[in-house]
């Protein structure tokens, strides 16, 4: 289970030809649990949590019908959180053991063929590639400055190798439920023409799933923007704040440059796939929101400046763009608190205070209304 957090795989919808649609989850905890209830969550903000169960003597149970197997979460939190275990809710008798100290990597599941197949394949990928990648990541911060470029290249090569395996599997096995989850890992990196061909190969029953819809929406938005959006020059859009003296408030500086505005801040990196997945949605959001009251600010960190400028151009990103060096990156996360992860979104209200330090993504259902309400 060690690879689940690394590969960032938390959402999958799959088709099922079986007429048997009942599932039973028999759950327990490795260690003493901290709550009295556990939630079965469908990762869709329109749906919310699907069910809840009381934890009695360290055990819990869910049972119902599922017509289309999908990836669900188990969590103490009725909303999606970092403390959650993702698995395929499939017609089967599933036995799940939750590790409350490490929900993602410490929890286990057995009893379902879809889960068994997926975790077996991920374990094979992990054995082949991720051990070395983790070693490189661990030594990166302490490496000499002159060696970091070679480390970066090696990390990218390893990630590309994993992506190639997943891409080949998806193309050769369009009927496999594993293909959808792999597609979710690399679709944002594909040329639009190639992505369109892959989408057309997905069977009709799988096209009714939320994961397919997510990729299809990205594809349609990207096509529309390619056909209709005017070229955006970054010459007057980009500002570099590397010269900010250490000790100054980064958020305070942004507020002072955008008085009486709500700030929607996107913290991203050029190497971050999920960051790039959100850019078409961010462009759409930028067009829907009144920018006289809302400022869209992008803070790029842990990246190369040349790649940063090129990506702004390639993605046709509007708004205000800032490049943070390593000192400013550390200062930013110290200022806003919480874990360092990418992408991360902040909302600053008109009073200059942090309204939400873990704000919804541009692709979420609620972000447009939230920004509109705060800007009134």
Q: Kindly state whether residues 224 and 318 are assigned to the same domain.
A: no
Q: Kindly state whether residues 183 and 277 are assigned to the same domain.
A: no
Quote the pLDDT of residue 292: 86
Residue 235, domain member (yes or no) = no
Q: Kindly state whether residues 211 and 328 are assigned to the same domain.
A: no
pTM listed for this prediction = 0.55
**Number of domains observed in the structure of the chain:** 2
DSSP letter at 297 equals E
CATH number where 366 lies: 3.40.30.10
Average pLDDT score over residue span 276-282:
91
Q: Kindly state whether residues 139 and 2 are assigned to the same domain.
A: yes
Where b means 16+ CB within 10 Å and e means fewer, 218-243 reads: bbebbeebeeeeeeeebeeebeebee
pLDDT at 93 over 80: yes
Quote the pLDDT of residue 287: 85
Q: Kindly state whether residues 112 and 160 are assigned to the same domain.
A: yes
Residue 241, domain member (yes or no) = no
pLDDT band at 19 (very low <50, low <70, confident <90, very high): very low
Pairing of strands 59-65, 22-29: antiparallel
Quote the pLDDT of residue 27: 96
Residue 364, domain member (yes or no) = yes
Rounded Cα gap, residues 199 and 118, in angstroms: 21
Quote the pLDDT of residue 365: 85
Cα–Cα separations (whole angstroms), residue 125 to 205, 361, 363:
28, 29, 29
Quote the pLDDT of residue 241: 53
pLDDT at 204 over 80: yes
Quote the pLDDT of residue 44: 59
- Of the three residues 228, 259, 275, the one that is the final residue of a domain is 228
Q: What digits encode the pLDDT tens for the residues 131-145?
A: 666 666 666 555 455
Domain, as residue range, for 339 = 250-375
Q: Which residue has the higher pLDDT, 152 or 205?
A: 205
Residue 126, domain member (yes or no) = yes
Q: Kindly state whether residues 104 and 203 are assigned to the same domain.
A: yes
HSE on the CB side for 240, CA within 13 Å?
Answer: 9
How remote is the C-alpha of 322 from its chain's centroid?
A: 22
Kindly report which listed range (73-77, 113-117, 162-166, 350-354) carries the lowest average pLDDT score: 162-166
pLDDT at 149 over 70: no
């Amino acid at each position: 289970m060690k690879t689940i957090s690394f590969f960032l795989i938390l959402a999958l919808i799959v088709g099922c030809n079986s007429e048997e649609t009942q599932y039973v989850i028999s759950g327990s905890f490795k260690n003493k649990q901290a709550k009295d209830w556990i939630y079965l969550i469908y990762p869709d903000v329109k749906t919310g949590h699907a069910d809840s169960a009381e934890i009695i003597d360290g055990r819990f149970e869910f049972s119902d019908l599922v017509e289309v197997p999908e990836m669900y979460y188990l969590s103490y939190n009725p909303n999606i959180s970092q403390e959650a275990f993702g698995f395929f809710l499939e017609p089967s008798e599933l036995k799940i053991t939750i590790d409350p100290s490490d929900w993602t990597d410490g929890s286990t599941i057995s009893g379902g063929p879809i889960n068994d197949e997926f975790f077996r394949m991920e374990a094979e990928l992990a054995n082949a590639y991720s051990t070395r990648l983790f070693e490189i990541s661990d030594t990166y911060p302490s490496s000499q400055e002159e060696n970091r470029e070679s480390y970066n290249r090696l990390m990218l090569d390893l990630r590309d190798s994993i992506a190639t395996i997943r891409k080949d599997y998806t193309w050769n096995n369009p009927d496999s439920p594993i293909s959808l989850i792999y597609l979710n890992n690399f679709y944002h990196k594909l040329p639009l023409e190639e992505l369109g061909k892959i989408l057309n190969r997905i069977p009709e029953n799988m096209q009714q799933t939320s994961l397919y819809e997510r990729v299809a929406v990205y594809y349609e938005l990207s096509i529309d923007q390619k056909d209709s959006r005017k070229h955006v020059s970054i010459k007057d859009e980009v500002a570099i704040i590397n010269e900010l003296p250490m000790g100054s408030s980064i958020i305070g500086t942004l507020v002072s440059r955008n008085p009486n505005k709500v700030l929607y801040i996107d913290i991203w990196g050029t190497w971050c796939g999920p960051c790039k997945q959100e850019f078409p949605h961010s462009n759409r959001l930028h067009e829907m929101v009144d920018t006289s009251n809302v400022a869209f600010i992008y803070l790029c960190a842990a990246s190369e400046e040349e790649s940063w400028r090129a990506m702004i151009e390639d993605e046709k990103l509007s708004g205000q763009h800032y490049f943070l060096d390593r000192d400013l990156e550390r200062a930013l996360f110290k200022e806003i608190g919480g874990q360092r992860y990418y992408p991360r979104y902040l909302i600053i209200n008109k009073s200059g205070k942090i309204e939400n330090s873990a704000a919804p993504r541009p692709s979420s259902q609620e972000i447009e209304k939230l920004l509109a309400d705060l800007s009134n």
